[in-house]
């Protein structure tokens, strides 16, 4: 979901199964007590109604995610204000909150003492979710590792494009135009700005008129499609060189879910739906490939990045496997600690309950509203398998440092 990399349209729009836009049925219980206070996309949780906060990962990975968040917050002015619904915090307050959370986790890993320690320094808010009752859809994303070639040589014939020379981005605010879109993407034909070509024109027609850098060629058009969905991936060449393809720009076209298309056409059921099942379906029905991929007119162009460290989230800092989440940046504008609980896939093919502290560090074109969360699983096939099967309902809590925290 951008700014650098997966900052968003990050994946042109989506994420693992975030691309599917699935609606699943899985309920979350609500406790008794005083009615919480609604503040836009967030509901403030009274001190006596805080949930038990447990964590199923190691403290080192959490500290790493917080360090990356700090890299961003410490690089902007201390008094820069970020909004979280109707709440706001300065960069210095958020940075102090990240540092304090790491200290607390190192001193008090879990149990009632952890809640007490966090409650002393933080206000807790729950996302109102997609239904107003706190239910969020949790999906997953990952960074694929992809064999590639520098020149087209069958079957490596499918390009990973850089940014076309004729692509133009217009900041609507600079022209004092009020719009939810914020910017327009197009190209100039004659003296007129026109929409940039869609996926059908680019991949199956004559859509790219300008010279375009090619970062590498893949052996599978569906792999290129899902690379755009993820927003970042590492190209691996025969000589061992690795180049990270990071999000650079989109074509400005709307995102449409091919997963939803397959559901609507009865090609598969909700229970069968996953990134892997979509890929398998397209392999088995090559005659439908152009029609299905073209259903999503959104297209992503990439820039080459060093293949060291993690892929960059929307704040220009690396995301951390298992700890970084993507949310709607319009609602949650800066890195902060969150608490996520629900169910995720397990390596044995089933799924399991989980709950952990995470850090807001990314966004995505399909991650919109307070009811969507995307969890980063890491790089490679195993991460992709887990991310592709993640489509569960859960709860998201945001921990904001108390006003004046230093």
CA angle 242, 314, 59 (to 5 degrees): 80
Task: Please answer whether residues 372 and 136 qualify as being in contact, where contact means their C-beta atoms are separated by less than 8 angstroms.
Answer: yes
Q: Is residue 105 part of a domain?
A: yes
- Determine what percent of the chain falls in helix, strand and coil, rounding each to the nearest 5: 25, 30, 45
8 vs 1, 30, 155, 213, 336, CA distance in Å? 2, 32, 30, 21, 18
Residue-level pLDDT at 183: 86
Note whether residue 362 is domain-resident: yes
Cα–Cα–Cα angle for 192, 196, 199, rounded to 5 degrees: 160
DSSP line for 207-274: ---S---EEEEES-HHHHHHHHHHSEEEEE-TTS-EEEEEEEEE-SPPP--HHHHHHHTTSS-TTT-S
User: Is there a domain that residue 244 lies in?
Assistant: no
pLDDT tens, N- to C-terminus, the chain (406 residues): 333 333 433 433 333 333 333 322 222 222 223 333 434 799 999 999 999 999 999 999 999 999 999 999 999 999 999 999 889 999 999 999 999 999 999 988 677 899 999 999 999 999 999 989 999 999 999 999 999 999 999 999 999 999 999 999 999 888 888 877 778 999 999 999 999 999 999 999 998 988 899 999 999 999 999 999 888 899 999 999 999 999 999 999 998 999 999 999 999 998 888 888 999 999 999 999 999 999 999 999 999 988 887 889 999 999 999 999 999 999 999 999 999 999 999 888 889 999 999 999 999 877 889 999 999 999 999 999 999 889 999 999 999 999 998 8
Nearest CA to 367 out of 336, 318, 325, 326 is that of: 326
Residue 224 included in any domain:
no
Instruction: Characterise 3 by phi-psi region: left (phi > 0), alpha (psi -120 to 50), beta (else).
Output: left
Same domain membership, residue 113 and residue 195? no
Q: What is the pLDDT of residue 329?
A: 93
Is residue 280 domain-shared with residue 338, that is, in the same domain?
no
| 45 shares its domain with 83 | yes
103 neighbors 109 (Cβ within 8 angstroms) = no
- Are residues 34 and 97 located together in one domain of the fold? yes
Residues 67 and 30 in one domain: yes
- Tell me how far apart the alpha carbons of residues 70 and 139 are, in angstroms, rounded to a whole number: 25
Least Cα distance to 184 among 200, 175, 195 occurs for 195
Please say which residue of 242, 269, 295 terminates a domain: 295
Give the integer Cα–Cα distance in Å for 56 and 221. 37
CATH number at residue 119: 2.40.40.10
Per-residue pLDDT at 393: 95
- If asked whether residues 137 and 175 sit together in one domain, one would say no
| Same domain, residue pair 277 and 337 | no
Q: Are residues 171 and 131 in the same domain?
A: no
- From 19, 99, 118, 54, select the one nearest 326 (Cα to Cα): 19
Residues 182 and 276 in one domain: no
Q: Which residues constitute the domain of residue 63? A: 16-142+310-401
Q: Is residue 248 part of a domain?
A: no
Task: Please tell me the total count of domains within the chain.
Answer: 3
* Domain presence at residue 153: no
pTM equals 0.80
Residue 186 confidence (pLDDT): 96
What's the gap between Cα 329 and its chain centre? 10
Residues 340 and 393 grouped into a single domain: yes
Q: CB of 402 within 8 A of CB of 122?
A: yes
Residue 318 shares a structural domain with residue 395: yes
Q: Are 386 and 277 in contact (CB under 8 A)?
A: no
My answer on whether 127 and 75 are in the same domain is: yes
DSSP three-state, residue 11 = coil
Residue 95 included in any domain: yes
The rounded distance, in Å, linking the Cα atoms of 174 and 159 is 34
**Residue 253 resides in a domain:** no
Give the ranges where 131-172 is alpha helix by DSSP (H). none
């Amino acid at each position: 979901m951008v700014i650098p990399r997966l900052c968003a349209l990050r994946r042109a729009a989506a994420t693992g199964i975030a691309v599917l836009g699935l609606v699943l049925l899985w309920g979350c219980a609500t406790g008794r007590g005083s009615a919480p206070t609604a503040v836009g996309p967030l509901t403030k949780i009274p001190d006596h109604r805080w949930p038990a906060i447990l964590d199923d990962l190691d403290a080192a990975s959490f500290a790493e995610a917080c360090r990356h968040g700090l890299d961003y917050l410490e690089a902007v002015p201390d008094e820069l204000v970020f909004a979280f619904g109707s709440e706001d915090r300065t960069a210095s307050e958020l940075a102090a909150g990240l540092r304090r959370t790491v200290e607390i986790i190192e001193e008090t890993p879990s149990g009632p003492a952890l809640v007490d320690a966090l409650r002393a320094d933080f206000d807790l808010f729950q996302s109102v979710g997609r239904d107003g009752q706190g239910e969020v859809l949790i999906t997953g994303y990952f960074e694929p590792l992809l064999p590639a070639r520098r020149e087209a040589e069958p079957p490596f014939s499918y390009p990973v494009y850089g940014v076309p020379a004729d692509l133009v981005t217009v900041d609507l605010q600079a022209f004092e135009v009020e719009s939810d879109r914020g910017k327009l993407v197009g190209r100039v034909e004659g003296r007129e700005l026109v929409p940039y070509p869609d996926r059908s024109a680019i991949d199956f027609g004559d859509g790219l008129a300008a010279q375009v850098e090619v970062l590498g060629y893949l052996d599978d058009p569906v792999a290129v499609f899902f690379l755009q969905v993820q927003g970042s991936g590492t190209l691996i060449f025969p000589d061992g060189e690795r180049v990270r393809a990071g999000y650079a720009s989109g074509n400005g076209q709307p995102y449409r879910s091919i997963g939803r298309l397959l559901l609507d056409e009865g090609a598969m059921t909700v229970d069968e739906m996953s990134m892997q099942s979509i890929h398998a379906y397209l392999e088995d029905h090559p005659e439908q490939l152009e029609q299905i991929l073209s259903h999503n007119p959104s297209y992503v162009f990439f820039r080459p990045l060093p293949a060291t460290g993690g892929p960059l989230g929307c704040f220009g800092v690396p995301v951390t496997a298992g700890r970084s989440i993507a949310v709607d940046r319009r609602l949650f504008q800066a890195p902060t600690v969150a608490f996520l609980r629900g169910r995720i896939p397990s390596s044995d093919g089933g799924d399991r309950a989980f709950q952990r502290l995470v850090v807001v560090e990314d966004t995505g074109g399909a991650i919109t509203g307070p009811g969507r969360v995307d969890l980063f699983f890491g790089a490679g096939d195993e991460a992709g398998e887990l991310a592709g099967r993640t489509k569960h309902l859960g709860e998201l809590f945001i921990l904001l440092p108390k006003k004046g925290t230093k």
